Structure 1
């Protein structure tokens, strides 16, 4: 089966795009209702003719503040700067109370990684359970979680866990500074799944300095396990990082990956996540994603929403994380 699945992924991926996209679209129509989930969580302002988001309805929290031991090449801690800091369990629970009182419905608890690629969650398990006790939706970004952390998160009652899957050893070393191979990411995924958690794997297209390398293997790691959801995001060059001037993968390449995921995972809930380049790249990526048969996306362009309606889809908006669509 592993050899067969890898062969299937490679064969599908290399189909001509003019065959790949229509086949993916037909499969989407066959297996899913004609609706398109659109996520607009409060980490970014969103205001279109269709919807204006509530900035405090869903927020992102860093349990390490702006600190990250790994200092990955694509981020260098920049993504942590926009998050609410809560660097002790008591601070996390108090922040949760304040957010809940302000109308918040859910949180993503994340943070910088340690030198093993793990978000240091073990001291926060009781506080995470406390957030659930407040009635909040709680999603956790784990990094390479071990079994003890996975079981602790299950006992805390978190709603979902998010895990980036790297399908290329060179990418893990060059970008994340980790001597890990795809099997290590598969093992972390197994830890989370075996604990009974709802896991939403993420794949970053172009993570290796804009070059596609290992995305199909990452997709294999997801499809070879009992995963029902997948979020694909696209490398977004950030100022202040070594990748600031990098050219991300073109929209057509992103569309090819999404269509491959759809054909290889006919009933997989596939989402285009919030991290992707702005401008025309954003719009064209979304349009390719629609044709590739995604179930939803984050922060859609107005033209994408109009195109979805033209294709017969019924868009609906949610101010929660796209993984909850």
Structure 2
């Protein structure tokens, strides 16, 4: 079975895009209602004229402030700077109360990783349970979680956990500075699933300095397990990082991955996440994503919303994380 699925993914991924996209669209119409979720969480301002997000409703929190031991090539802690810092368990719970009282409905708890690629969650498990007791939706970005942490998150009652899946050892080494391979990410996914958690895996298209390298293997790691959701994001070069000048993968390459995921995962809740390059790249990627049969898109261009409706899809907005669509 594993070899068969790998062959299937490789075969699908090699098909011409003019065959992939119509097949993916038809499969989406067959297996899902004509509805497209549009996520606009509060980490970014969004106002399309059709919808303006309430930035209080969903926020991101870093348990390590802007600090990260790994200093990954695509981030170097830049993504953490826009998050609310909570450097101690009591601080996390106090922040949760303040956010809840200010109208917040949900939080993503993340942070920089340690030398083993793990977000340091163990000291915060009781505080995470406390956030749930406040009535908040709680999503946790785990990194390479071990079984003990996975069980602790389950006992804390978190709503979801997010895990980036890397399908190429060179990418993990070159970008994350980790000596880890696809099997390590698969094992972390198994740990979380075995604990009974709702896991939403993420795959970053072009993570290896803009090249597609291991993304199909990452798809295998997800589809060979009982995962019902998948978020694909696209490498977005950030100023102040070694990847600032990197060319991200072309929209057609992203479309090929999305269509492969749809055709191999016919009932997968497939989402185009919040990170992708701006400008023309963004619009073309979103148009392709529609044709590839996604179920939801984060921060859609207004042109994409219009195109979705033209295709017969009913659209709805949510100011929570796209993984909750």
Aligned equivalent of 2:3: 3
Match of 1:203 in 2: 203
Distance apart, 1:273 and its partner CA? 0.2
Map of 1:229-268 to 2, 5 A cutoff?
229-268=229-268
1:288 aligns with 2:292: no
What is the alpha-carbon distance in structure 2 between the residues aligned to residue 189 and residue 37 of structure 1? 25
Instruction: Indicate the residue corresponding to 2:39 in structure 1.
Output: 39
CA distance in 1, matches of 2:120, 2:297: 29
Cα displacement (A) at 1:63: 0.4
Paired with 2:49 and 2:22, the residues of 1 have a C-alpha distance of 29
Instruction: Report the secondary structure of 1:300's partner residue.
Output: coil
2:217 aligns with 217
Note the aligned Cα RMSD (angstroms): 0.3
Deviations 1:76-110 (A, max 9, x none): 00000000000000000000000000000000000
Residue 49 of structure 1, CA deviation? 1.9
Unmatched segments (≥5 aa) in structure 1? none
Please name the residue that 2:73 is paired with. Answer: 73
What is aligned with 1:188?
Answer: 188
Listed one character per residue, the Cα deviations across residues 40-80 of structure 1 (whole Å, up to 9, x for unaligned) are 00000000121000011000000000100000000000000
Q: 2:178 and 2:48 mapped to 1: Cα distance?
A: 41
Q: How does 1:61-210 map to 2 (within 5 A)?
A: 61-210=61-210
What is the number of equivalent residue pairs in this alignment?
A: 325
Q: How far apart, in 2, do the equivalents of 1:111 and 1:273 lie?
A: 19
Q: Give the Cα–Cα distance (whole angstroms) in 1 for the partners of residues 269 and 66 of structure 2.
A: 32
TM-score computed with the length of structure 1 as normaliser: 1.00
Q: Secondary structure at the match of 1:108?
A: strand
Tell me, in whole angstroms, the C-alpha distance in 2 between the residues paired with 1:5 and 1:153: 31
Consecutive unaligned residues of structure 2, counting only runs of 5 or more, are: none
CA distance in 2, matches of 1:97, 1:68: 26
- Report the equivalent of 1:51: 51
Alpha-carbon distance in structure 2 between the residues aligned to 1:16 and 1:76: 36
Matched position secondary structure for 1:64: coil
Deviations 1:270-323 (A, max 9, x none): 000001111111110000000000000100000000000000000100000000
What is the TM-score when the length of structure 2 is the normalising length?
A: 1.00
